[in-house]
Amino acid sequence: MKLKLVAALGAAVMMLAGSAAKGAGIVEFGLKAESPILGRPIPYAVYKPFPAPAEGERWPVVYLLHGTTGADGDWFTWGNLAPILDRAIADGRIPPLVVVAPGAGDSWYVDNPDPGGFGLIDTAFATDLVAAIDATLPTAKCRAGRAIGGVSMGGVGAVLQAINHPDTYTAAMSFAGALHQPLEKADPRSRWIPDLYRNIFGTPFDRARFNAANAFTLMPKLKRAADKPAFYFAIGDNDFPDLITAAAEYHIGLQQIGMETTLRVGPGRHYWDTWQQQIVPALEWVVPKLDATCGRG
């Protein structure tokens, strides 16, 4: 019995070694980045390609954000991202890169100083989280080595990160981003928007706060930014009609202020099976914009 167990364990080790030798990356769950800004750690999962970079070389980093009711690591569980990355790297479609999938609750990735709120999530992600990743992994430690993306709530979160911190990310990718337009007075969406953003913009819901933090409202900031990130929008043709319209309107708005922007509408719905199909083309778009040599030294 012991011999059979030893043999089985040995076979398992050989399988794992063989997988690594073929280029399978490693996903680590349950990690935490200390955040003095939040006063609590930021949970995250990370994909590290295999093998490790040679001495003096660094990996570019892509941060991928989850949607509502989601959690850190969703891109690797629901999104099945690790084998997708393994195949894309092995096929030469993308170079080895690190993917970080943090957790933020239903914070909508905005700064919320309210008692009992999520805290300054927007600021903490662009500072404490990025600093923690750069301190623990051989990453390209500068703007040109980083991009950010996300699904649904995370899609608008990625856009907001790029707008509010253009000196941190070189590009942002929005997959079915929940890019809701600012609310007007007597807006019919007032029946459901406050519930969607519960506890994010005050209790009761403060329309002025929502509008001030809105991605459409903040878009003009990009015209004044010294660093101008590129944007990529992907959405399925069977997604929610308002999100399809919003992606197109945001893309057009960025064009009108001279920003680099790409819009891709293809088959799919508002779910992970669609986003699994969209992620590699998006990474192929972003990779030429990433510089793994930046921040050496």
More confident residue, 130 or 295: 130
Mean pLDDT of 71-78: 98
Mean pLDDT of the chain: 92
The string of pLDDT tens digits covering residues 223-232 is 999 999 999 9
Q: Which amino acid, one-letter code, is at 275?
A: W
More confident residue, 2 or 228: 228
Mean pLDDT of 121-129: 98
The yes-or-no verdict on residue 19 having pLDDT over 60 is no
The string of pLDDT tens digits covering residues 140-152 is 999 999 999 999 9
Mean pLDDT of 57-79: 98
- What is 27-289's CATH topology? Rossmann fold (3.40.50)
pLDDT score, position 209: 98
Dist. CA 168–CA 134, nearest whole Å = 12
pLDDT score, position 144: 97
pLDDT score, position 297: 54
The yes-or-no verdict on residue 294 having pLDDT over 90 is no
**In sequence order, which residues have a C-beta less than 8 Å from that of residue 261 and are 6 or more positions away?**
230, 231, 232, 233, 251, 254, 255
H/E segment holding residue 87: helix 81-90
Whole-model pTM: value is 0.92
H/E segment holding residue 45: strand 42-48
The string of pLDDT tens digits covering residues 260-269 is 999 999 999 9
Mean pLDDT of 50-73: 95
Q: Which residue is listed with tokens 């690594």?
A: 20
Dist. CA 106–CA 270, nearest whole Å = 17
> What is the pLDDT confidence band of residue 196, given thresholds at 50, 70 and 90?
very high
> What is the pLDDT confidence band of residue 94, given thresholds at 50, 70 and 90?
very high
